[in-house]
Amino acid sequence: MGAFLSTRPASPTTVHFASKPAVLTVKKTENPDQVEQLSLRELLESRCTSLFTAFSPLWWLPNGHLQTIYCVTGDFSGVDRMLYRRHYLRLVDGGTLGIDFAPVDGTSVKDDAPIIVVQHGLTGGSYEAYVRVILSRACAPVEKGGLGYRAVVINFRGCAGVPITNPLFYSAGHTDDTRSALMYVATRYPKARLLGLGFSLGANVITRYLGEEREMARLHSACVLACPWDLQANNHGLQNSFLGKYIYSRGMGGNLQNLLKRHAQAMTVDPSHPVAEAAMATLALRNPTMDEFDQSFTRIAGGPSPSFPFPNVDEYYIWGSSHRIIKDITVPFLAINAADDPIVQHVPSDGGGNGLIVLGLTKGGGHLGWFQAGQDSVDRWTTRPVLEWLKLVGEELVMEPLDKGRSVYTDEDGFLRERERDHLGCKEIDGGGVIDGNGGEGGILQGL
């Protein structure tokens, strides 16, 4: 119990920049009609000042274990409430994504307003409190103290009420669904900057996407929180501690198994299909840890061939990690982790010399926690630096060209497609509408 009772005093965030931070063109604060060139360090030190402040945890959540557990057990249904307008995308492989836009009445938002593109955590969705705490402020009108931005949450296959319509799941390393969703968003709003925002597993997906796409990435920037980076090392860390294995890993494994149970019928339409066989074997597991679930199912069903299936879970973790790819990112990128995160214990200390990378590490905060005292209730320390970052990259940086990515065309079946990528494509299908983004999903632990 000592791990739960220990406390850690507040300390300023450790912020790492490359030895030669990128020099960017930015609008002058005192005269936005004029521009100047400043290094990324100078920009954050002057316009994202809260990133350098100390995180002071609530007295009753003094360490990473309690911060993380409160993410799961806390009642956040009455704060930061969000409604979304859902659109369903059918992918060329037969799968389905749920794309949740905010605000619901998008007619009040300018066509060129920045769009925050969100990827959620392991088994979450647009309803997660860690998503809503930022979007409720970023999507509020400027006259009400918000940024006046649009947001879109990419709900992974099977998450947040999205149906499974083919025998394929999602994973921490598969990025093609992100490509398809961004193709749709960029085509729908060609005048808007796309600002990536990722949490935990979704942070890993965004990081991998940017590193893989390099100059062709459709995102103009990204901010990621609690990214798991080195999946193999962090899984080994979980397995080598009692709390890691029997609380966190089994909690996440149970979440994944419950999600699979919800879609078992869709996954096993053809019992002879390898994914169906893996699903039935995984459903028979008793109280699996996350790596046991991934060994039984994700390494087989977490993406298409030729990458999948992997011979074992470690090969999948090595392939799906993002820590080695940040050197290839070509847009401004901010990552924030907590040193006492009991789930993510291995965090990169530098960005491979990439001048566009900023890595922030707080002393406390747990996994997606960072709970501190607010004016009226519990608040999260990360909210202010993330909003300051979004304002900087959304309004103040001068970015050219705005139109990014490969050219898109519509095929004879109505699918949006990219040149030279025949395996990718999506089209909007019937369904969706206004959804309540505050309720969560039965049987699925929140906050992971």
Angle at 389 between CA 30 and CA 408, to 5 degrees: 105
Q: How far is CA 445 from the centre of its chain?
A: 17
E strands along 206-260, which residues?
Answer: 221-225
Q: Band of the pLDDT at 404, cuts 50, 70, 90?
A: confident
CATH number of residue 93's parent domain:
3.40.50.1820
Does the pLDDT value for residue 440 go beyond 60? yes
- Mean local confidence (pLDDT), 284-301: 98
Domain containing residue 292? 232-320
In a domain, 429, yes or no: yes
pLDDT, mean over the chain: 94
Number of domains in the chain: 2
Structure tokens at 352: 């491979």
Residue 419: per-residue pLDDT: 85
In a domain, 443, yes or no: no
Residue 84: per-residue pLDDT: 97
| Span of 10-14, 79-83, 363-367, 418-422 with lowest mean pLDDT | 10-14
Instruction: Kindly report the number of other CB atoms within 10 A of residue 248's CB atom.
Output: 23
Does the pLDDT value for residue 186 go beyond 80? yes
Does the pLDDT value for residue 68 go beyond 90? yes
* CA distance linking residue 343 with residue 70, whole number of Å: 14
**290 and 267 in a common domain:** yes
**334 and 362 in a common domain:** yes
Residue 276: per-residue pLDDT: 97
Does the pLDDT value for residue 402 go beyond 80? no
Q: Which of 294, 320, 346 is the last residue of a domain?
A: 320
**82 and 49 in a common domain:** yes
Q: Which of 300, 320, 340 is the last residue of a domain?
A: 320
Residue 236: per-residue pLDDT: 97
In a domain, 441, yes or no: no
**425 and 389 in a common domain:** yes
In a domain, 151, yes or no: yes
**344 and 310 in a common domain:** no
**386 and 258 in a common domain:** no
Share of the chain above pLDDT 70, in %: 98
* CA distance linking residue 169 with residue 167, whole number of Å: 7
Does the pLDDT value for residue 439 go beyond 90? no
Residue 6: per-residue pLDDT: 38
Distant-in-sequence, close-in-space partners of 375: CB < 8 Å, separation ≥ 6? none
CA dihedral 336, 342, 344, 350 (to 10 degrees): 50
Q: Band of the pLDDT at 379, cuts 50, 70, 90?
A: very high
**417 and 276 in a common domain:** no
In a domain, 125, yes or no: yes
What's the pLDDT tens digit per position in 5-44? 334 455 789 999 999 999 999 999 999 999 999 999 999 9
Please tell me whether the peptide bond between 12 and the residue prior to it is cis, using omega within 30 degrees of 0.
no
In a domain, 442, yes or no: no
**346 and 414 in a common domain:** yes
Q: Band of the pLDDT at 403, cuts 50, 70, 90?
A: confident
In a domain, 288, yes or no: yes
**12 and 36 in a common domain:** yes
- Mean local confidence (pLDDT), 420-442: 91
In a domain, 106, yes or no: yes
**280 and 346 in a common domain:** no
Does the pLDDT value for residue 298 go beyond 80? yes
Q: Which of 273, 297, 320 is the last residue of a domain?
A: 320
**23 and 121 in a common domain:** yes
Entry pTM: 0.95
**408 and 273 in a common domain:** no
Q: Of 194 and 442, which is predicted with more confidence?
A: 194
What's the pLDDT tens digit per position in 236-267? 999 999 999 999 999 999 999 999 999 999 99
249, 294 contact by CB (below 8 A): no
Q: What type of residue sits at position 97?
A: L
Q: How far is CA 221 from the centre of its chain?
A: 13
Does the pLDDT value for residue 4 go beyond 70? no
- Mean local confidence (pLDDT), 108-124: 95
